[in-house]
Each structure stands twice: as structure tokens, then as C-alpha cells.
Amino acid sequence: MKHFKDTGQYPSAQQLYGCTQKTISGYIYDQLKEEYQDINKANMSTTLQKTIKTWNSRKKEIWSGEMSIPSFRNNLPIDIHGNSIQIIKEKSGDYIASVSLFSSKFIKENNLPNGKILVKLSTRKQNSMKVILDRIIDSTYAKGACMLHKHKKKWYLSITYKSNIKEELKFDEDLIMGIDMGKINVLYFAFNKGLVREAISGEEIEAFRKKLSIDV
């Protein structure tokens, strides 16, 4: 608070912690990767980004005393970076998730073949899920961050995805918009195709003018 009173600005990460990183997230990441050397660094970065996002969205309320600092339990889902998981479809039709949870250092020290955990996904009677997984495999869908979480003694894998196909907007030469300007409705427009139409009434303009005169 003294720094803010003296300078009018909050102290930077370097000033607070005497570190070389320009952002607090960079400082935290360097601290965590030293303390938790067995964890996959990309997964750790995903968790850190979510935590920083939560902090940034709530920091004003926290600083003003309206909200306590958020806490995180040890049974929260395990964050998995999109590049730390691959979906494979076997000839039998089974779907396998290859998940990387460990750091390269841990894999080397423990002589693990590839350091990945292979998990068979339960897709029985889940046709819509199979369609999504197939589209992730053939890159129709781009895979994002994932989460591994436990519920009632069962493990679940949540996968985020989005379409890679960009919708092309085509110019319709036959689409015509008509505009009418009058007194009751300052502006009215409609199209020759469909039911899209809208109007700006004179009352809205008059109300806006009155608001401006009051503000002045």
C-alpha cells in the first residue's frame, strides 16, 4: 500500500519478489516447476493459466475486501494440456486415450517406455461421443485443454474441442434491403427474403435527446 501511495501504481512482480520475470504468472511457474519436478510442465501451465484467470476476474473484489481469496481443494480435476493427450481408434473400434502426466525428467529417471498412460474410453451406447472422437482423430475438430476427474470411484475424461472448418460467408446478389425513413419510425428496414426486419422509433430518439439535455 505504501508503494501505491507513493507512486500511484501497484508494485510489479520484480518489485514484490525481487525476480527477473515481468509477470506474476512467470514467477509462479518457475517456482512450481522447481517444487513439482515430476509433473508434466504443459499440464502445470494449463492449471496456472486457469488460476491466474480466476484471480484477474476477482482481484478487485479481493483488494476491496468484498471477497476472500479463492482456495482450491486437492481433489480438483487434473488439468491436461491439449498436446498432452492423443485419441487413438483401434481396429476393434475401441477408443484409447494416451495421456501424458509426467515430466520428461521423471520419465527418464524411472525408465518408463514413453511416460504415457493408456486409457480405454467407455463409449458403449454412446454414438454421439463416437462421432465427436472420430472428428477429433481426423482433425475436423481441434482438441483443446482436457480434465481428468474422479467421481464415485470412476475416472472421467473431459475433452474440449472446436470445429476447424471456417464457415464461408457468400455474397447474395439477390438479397435486397429496403429502408423507409419517416416520422413515427425514424428508420424502418426489411429484406426481400425472410422475416428479418427492425425499426427505430421516434420515441427512442426523443428520449435520447432528453437524456443528453439532462446530462448537460
Write out 60-112 in H/E/C secondary structure.
HHHHCCCCCCCCCCCCCCEEECHHHEEEEECCCCCEEEEEECECHHHHHHCCC
- pLDDT of 132 over the 70 cut: yes
Residue 138, φ and ψ in degrees, nearest 5: -90, 10
For position 151, what pLDDT does the model report? 85
Better pLDDT: 194 or 45: 45
Q: Is 71 exposed, middle or buried (0-12, 13-18, 19+ CB in 10 A)?
A: exposed
* Cα 41 to Cα 27: distance, rounded to the nearest angstrom: 14
At 166, the amino acid letter reads K
Mean pLDDT for all residues in the chain: 81
Strand-pairing partners, residue 163, are: 141
For position 80, what pLDDT does the model report? 92
Q: How confident is the model at residue 197 (pLDDT cuts 50, 70, 90)?
A: confident
Better pLDDT: 150 or 170: 150
For position 216, what pLDDT does the model report? 46
* Cα 131 to Cα 154: distance, rounded to the nearest angstrom: 23
For position 87, what pLDDT does the model report? 92
Q: Tell me the percentage of the chain whose pLDDT exceeds 70.
A: 78
Please state the rounded mean pLDDT for residues 189-200. 75
Better pLDDT: 44 or 12: 44
Cα–chain-centroid distance for residue 15? 30
**Which residues does 60 contact at the CB level (< 8 Å), separation at least 6?**
none
Torsion of CA 101, 104, 106, 110, to 10 degrees: 110
Lowest mean pLDDT among 62-66, 153-157, 212-216: 212-216
Q: How confident is the model at residue 96 (pLDDT cuts 50, 70, 90)?
A: very high
- pLDDT of 22 over the 50 cut: yes
**Which residues does 69 contact at the CB level (< 8 Å), separation at least 6?**
62
- pLDDT of 170 over the 80 cut: no
Residue (of 146, 129, 53, 148) closest to 89 by Cα position: 129
For position 89, what pLDDT does the model report? 92
* Cα 95 to Cα 71: distance, rounded to the nearest angstrom: 35
Better pLDDT: 8 or 118: 118
For position 51, what pLDDT does the model report? 85
Q: How confident is the model at residue 137 (pLDDT cuts 50, 70, 90)?
A: very high
**What predicted TM-score, i.e. pTM, was given to this entire model?**
0.62
Q: CA triplet 118, 115, 53: central angle to 5 degrees? A: 85
Determine the length of the chain: 216
